[in-house]
Amino acid sequence: MSVDEAPRIAIDAMGGDGGPATMIAGAAQARDRDSSLRFTFTGDEAVIRAETARFPQLVDSIIVHCDDVITGDDKPSQAIRRTKSSSMGAAILAVKAGEAAAALSAGNTGALMAIAKLSLRTMHGIDRPALAALMPTLGDNDLVMLDLGANTDCDARNLVEFAVMGAAYSRLALGIESPRVRLLNIGTEELKGTGELKEAAAMLRQQTGGAWRFDGFIEADRLGRGEADVIVSDGFSGNIALKSIEGTARFITDLLRRAFSSSLRSKAGFILSRPAFALLRHHLNPNNHNGAVFLGLNGLVVKSHGGADENGIANAIAVAAKIAREDLTRRITDDLEDFRSHAVQTEGVA
């Protein structure tokens, strides 16, 4: 898909805490930002029509009626059996059929991954797909972190594939010519970490030059310092790190709010520091970094925070449109071929 083409995004209108009202309002906001976008909404047709009627810019949207909704309590195995009848499944099937460039859902993450993996299959040469998201840093740019929960157990090969896919996404999303890739570990020394981490590091060190570079291990307390562009981990560790970062951000925001309201002097201080506090709140707001991408599938799927507001949904739609326009799948394929070709040449020289 070229940049000039108008991507159609299939949106699971029933997913997320806010339901159709938030999902459709977010789509309207995204359309205001980019008039070339087109949408297919999947879910309860009567509810969707009532919501889209509020937004003239969505009058040309397609609605696919679905009687079923995947809830947060549904197990992935249950969701898979309801792929064809559910709003989440219908959005992904639209991508499989070529009727949409990407799918977006704010629903059950495990169910979304299960349906997407079974329906779209993994790319050639990829063992497991990974969930990647952008995270803020103190550096000049955000970073890409993966896996954030799709795979709790990973071997060295999986981690290497995540590194290649993450680097490809980093170049597209952040515009970085040669991203710095690092493995999340309990220390930076080569002797620390699991056998899988050590083996993955040895494989990644074979990559010299090219589209990215491997900078070794990084500890969790350095994630936001701007010392890496791509952080790679298994899904278990990555999800814990992500939730810890999000919880800490909320803790800091709530603590500052409490401190500024503790006395008249504190309230006066808040008035003076309001611009700085607003900047901090903007930087820590997950809605401003919304839109995690499933990498490694034969089709594009984006996961939104379940609690995202309409601005967060609009940002996730922008992510979906960007990866569709710039053909993320092809970029990953090219990078995998380049990495494996280089690895074979290195082994031959050795």
User: Over the stretch 228-239, which tens digit does the pLDDT of each residue have?
Assistant: 999 999 999 988
Q: What is the pTM of this model?
A: 0.86
Burial degree of 275 (CB within 10 A; 0-12, 13-18, 19+): exposed
User: Over the stretch 72-82, which tens digit does the pLDDT of each residue have?
Assistant: 888 999 999 99
Specify the residue for token string 């503790």.
262
User: Taking all residues of the chain, what is their mean pLDDT, rounded to a whole number?
Assistant: 87
pLDDT at 204 over 80: yes
What confidence score (pLDDT) does residue 167 get?
A: 92
User: Over the stretch 161-193, which tens digit does the pLDDT of each residue have?
Assistant: 999 999 999 999 988 888 999 999 999 888 888
Q: Are 164 and 214 in contact (CB under 8 A)?
A: no
Of 157, 212, 159, nearest to 334 by C-alpha is 212
Q: Are 30 and 121 in contact (CB under 8 A)?
A: no
Burial degree of 51 (CB within 10 A; 0-12, 13-18, 19+): buried
pLDDT at 12 over 60: yes
Of 129, 101, 104, nearest to 36 by C-alpha is 101
Both tokens of residue 299? 């089709």
What confidence score (pLDDT) does residue 61 get?
A: 95
pLDDT at 254 over 60: yes
Q: Are 123 and 149 in contact (CB under 8 A)?
A: no
pLDDT at 322 over 80: yes
- Could you tell me which residue, 266 or 109, shows the higher pLDDT? 109
pLDDT category at 280 given cuts 50, 70, 90 is low
Burial degree of 298 (CB within 10 A; 0-12, 13-18, 19+): middle
pLDDT at 318 over 80: yes
- How far apart, in whole angstroms, are the C-alpha atoms of residue 65 and residue 42? 6
Q: Are 296 and 137 in contact (CB under 8 A)?
A: no
- How far apart, in whole angstroms, are the C-alpha atoms of residue 95 and residue 88? 12
User: Over the stretch 80-137, which tens digit does the pLDDT of each residue have?
Assistant: 999 999 999 999 999 999 999 999 999 999 999 999 999 999 998 898 999 999 988 8
Both tokens of residue 102? 């990407």
Cα–Cα distances (Å) from 215 to 171, 228, 331, in that order, read 16, 8, 21
What confidence score (pLDDT) does residue 145 get?
A: 95
pLDDT category at 346 given cuts 50, 70, 90 is very low
- Secondary element (H or E) of residue 57: none
What confidence score (pLDDT) does residue 276 get?
A: 59
pLDDT at 4 over 50: no
For range 214-229, the mean pLDDT: 91
pLDDT category at 246 given cuts 50, 70, 90 is confident
pLDDT category at 350 given cuts 50, 70, 90 is very low
pLDDT at 43 over 90: yes
What confidence score (pLDDT) does residue 278 get?
A: 62
Q: Quick one: DSSP state of residue 81?
A: H
pLDDT at 205 over 60: yes
pLDDT at 349 over 60: no
Query: Who contacts 92 (Cβ-Cβ below 8 Å, separation ≥6)?
Result: 10, 83, 103, 112, 115, 116, 119, 120, 299, 301
The residue type found at 342 is H
For range 32-48, the mean pLDDT: 95
Residue spans of beta strands (DSSP E) within 7-151 = 8-12, 38-43, 62-65, 102-105, 130-135, 143-146
- Going from the N-terminus, what domains does the chain have, and what CATH number goes with each? 1-125+296-326 (3.40.718.10), 127-291 (3.40.718.10)
- How far apart, in whole angstroms, are the C-alpha atoms of residue 325 and residue 335? 18
